[in-house]
Structure 1
Amino acid sequence: MSPAVTLFLIVVSTAVAGSVTIKTLVFPTATSTSYVEMIPQRPMNLTAFTLCMRVATELSGKREIILFAYRTGSYDELNVWREVDGRLSFYLAGDGVLFKVPDLGALITHLCVTWDSTSGLAALFLDGKRSLSKIYKKDHTVSPGGRVILGQDADSFLGSFDKKQSFVGEICDVNMWDTVLPDSAIICMFAGKREPRGNVFDWDSGELEINGDVEVATREL
């Protein structure tokens, strides 16, 4: 495994073209060694959240794909998956909540998941379109002190990776808030607007540690 490389992501606004250029992560092949660790800006002691990203993958068939993984020493505290049957899901320290949605593919998709402990309301957004609400893990709290990675599912604190669950494709614009954002804010983000920025993870200024065969490129929103 190659040494980890720490990367600070800085967004660049291109005034002339009226566009925004951001860093993006390309995972070219299935491996059990390549991943990116995201460093949170505050402890992940969460009773609500909005998690958004832009993602594309050509993986298909009988294959689950990890999209986001947060694990403490004892539990998978928050994992987001593309299931074997194409459904999207997230799991909070146990059984998950699943949504039947259009398949992810080679076209970049803006994906958000939201959850609130008080009501248990969970929902998913694809390209600004909101799913139905489901009731999930009412009164639960996401515990702090873990590690967040893109590209692999850790079956221990940061290890025991399975090549058959690894992500292959492109991920960028990963942001997280400790509240449920209004639908209107998520729709604006899908359209490329840069406000509000995540207060748990902010892709514009966050710190990433690159491990293994992961390419860092730039693209315009």
Structure 2
Amino acid sequence: CLAGNVTAGFLVISGIKSSTFPSFYFPVENIESFVNVHPLHDMSLQAFTFCFWTKAQHAGSQTVLSYSTQERDNELVLTVGTDVGLWIGGHFISFPLYHKAQDWLHYCMAWASWSGTASLWLNGAVGKAKSIQKGYVSQAGGTLVLGKDRDTLLGTFSNGFAGWMTHVNLWSQVLSPADIRALALCKPGQLKGDIIAWGETPMTLLGGVVLEPDTSCQ
């Protein structure tokens, strides 16, 4: 059974064995749904790899992860849709997407400050790298959410995610190509992020996010 604590409409996910951890379903009709993430380490990042599976229910730009600080809404934001958008420290780049967003897709975005190189991996294949924010280090002490951006939380509700999201992991380093391919191929004994570890990092589900069986690797 799914373990969790329900208080005042919040569902805090904890104590679920990661092998049976469900996916998150963000209902299309509920524009207020998002997930608060309590990262395992602070978000002062000189590099990262962010990997996840999604099955989106519409093709417009949808926020998967949003990290905002008091100084900046778009400290680290990743969106999916007709393309994949990446914000780092208020700067933006986008990557074309040649797959139907309605299918389960495995994404990994990797970035390193020392080179400023960002690379998008889709279903285990890497695309053309782009340059953003060379030498930048993201600020700690912000708010990390799945499924919405900060503007949304303030009441505008733009770029909300609708559909399924699972195996969300965030590392403070660039993963090797072999590790990224293993994640996309659903190989057993998968790596877990050191900042977001799927099935282990505390998360609070708000606004009608639903737990559903994970079908991403079937």
Name the TM-score, length of structure 1 as normaliser: 0.87
CA change 1:79–1:161 in 2 (3 A) is farther
Report the alpha carbon displacement of residue 154 of structure 1 after superposing the two structures with TM: 1.0
Structure 1 unmatched runs, 5+: 14-20
The answer for the alignment partner of 2:77 in structure 1 is 79
Letter in 2 for 1:170: W
Rounded to whole Å, the distance in 1 between the matches of 2:18 and 2:130 is 37
Instruction: Establish whether residue 162 from structure 1 lines up as the match of residue 160 from structure 2.
Output: no
The answer for the alignment partner of 2:126 in structure 1 is 130
Rounded to whole Å, the distance in 1 between the matches of 2:38 and 2:15 is 12
Instruction: Establish whether residue 203 from structure 1 lines up as the match of residue 198 from structure 2.
Output: yes
> Would you say how many aligned residue pairs link Structure 1 and Structure 2?
207
Q: CA RMSD in A?
A: 1.8
Rounded to whole Å, the distance in 1 between the matches of 2:169 and 2:35 is 15
The answer (yes or no) to whether the contact 1:177–1:201 under 8 Å persists in 2 is yes
Structure 2 unmatched runs, 5+: 1-7
The answer (yes or no) to whether the contact 2:61–2:83 under 8 Å persists in 1 is no
The answer (yes or no) to whether the contact 1:50–1:114 under 8 Å persists in 2 is yes
CA change 1:66–1:104 in 2 (3 A) is farther
The answer for the alignment partner of 2:16 in structure 1 is 10
Letter in 2 for 1:120: G
The answer for the alignment partner of 1:17 in structure 2 is none
Task: Give the 3-state SS of the residue equivalent to 1:166 in structure 2.
Answer: coil
Mapping of residues 130-149 of structure 1, within 5 Å: 130-149=126-145
Rounded to whole Å, the distance in 2 between the matches of 1:38 and 1:218 is 20
CA change 1:98–1:32 in 2 (3 A) is same
The answer for the alignment partner of 2:5 in structure 1 is none
Instruction: Establish whether residue 180 from structure 1 lines up as the match of residue 174 from structure 2.
Output: yes
The answer (yes or no) to whether the contact 2:91–2:133 under 8 Å persists in 1 is no
The answer (yes or no) to whether the contact 1:32–1:152 under 8 Å persists in 2 is no
Report the alpha carbon displacement of residue 132 of structure 1 after superposing the two structures with TM: 1.2
124-133 vs 87-96, which deviates more? 87-96
Rounded to whole Å, the distance in 2 between the matches of 1:113 and 1:57 is 17
The answer for the alignment partner of 2:46 in structure 1 is 47
Letter in 2 for 1:107: D
Letter in 2 for 1:53: F
Instruction: Establish whether residue 68 from structure 1 lines up as the match of residue 65 from structure 2.
Output: yes
Task: Give the 3-state SS of the residue equivalent to 2:75 in structure 1.
Answer: strand
CA change 1:206–1:195 in 2 (3 A) is same
CA change 1:106–1:126 in 2 (3 A) is same
Give CA deviations for 1:2-41 in whole Å, capped at 9, x if unaligned. Answer: 622211263454xxxxxxx331100112444211111100
Rounded to whole Å, the distance in 1 between the matches of 2:169 and 2:100 is 19
Task: Give the 3-state SS of the residue equivalent to 2:21 in structure 1.
Answer: strand
Rounded to whole Å, the distance in 1 between the matches of 2:100 and 2:36 is 23
Identity of aligned residues (%): 25
Name the TM-score, length of structure 2 as normaliser: 0.88
Rounded to whole Å, the distance in 2 between the matches of 1:73 and 1:41 is 20
Task: Give the 3-state SS of the residue equivalent to 2:52 in structure 1.
Answer: strand
The answer (yes or no) to whether the contact 1:9–1:206 under 8 Å persists in 2 is no
